[in-house]
Amino acid sequence: MLQNIIKTTPSFIVKMDGCPFCRKAMDALPDLKLYDRYGDADLVKDIMEKYNHKTFPMIFINGQFIGGFSDYEKKKDTL
């Protein structure tokens, strides 16, 4: 599932309702497609298994896994 989404939507955020870091990511990256932790459980499972990332948000930009919001903040100038 993950690879198909990356092919069709290379930049996206997987969010969880009530998550303050998800809100920050959505504010910083308003044009990215959003997926939901509960509505897209298979996608979340794939990301957790492939990248060993278990927190939210889960950010992908141009098909590259960035990580969470703190990871994005560290890398944003090089993206």
* Cα angle, residue 51 at apex, residues 50 and 56 outer, rounded to 5°: 120
**Percentage of residues of the chain with pLDDT beyond 70:** 100
Rounded CA-CA distance 54/26 in Å is 18
As a whole number, mean pLDDT of residues 3-9 equals 95
Domain residue spans in the chain?
1-8+23-69
Other Cβ atoms less than 10 A from the Cβ of 2: the count is 17
Give the pair of three-digit tokens for residue 4: 């198909």
pTM of the model: 0.95
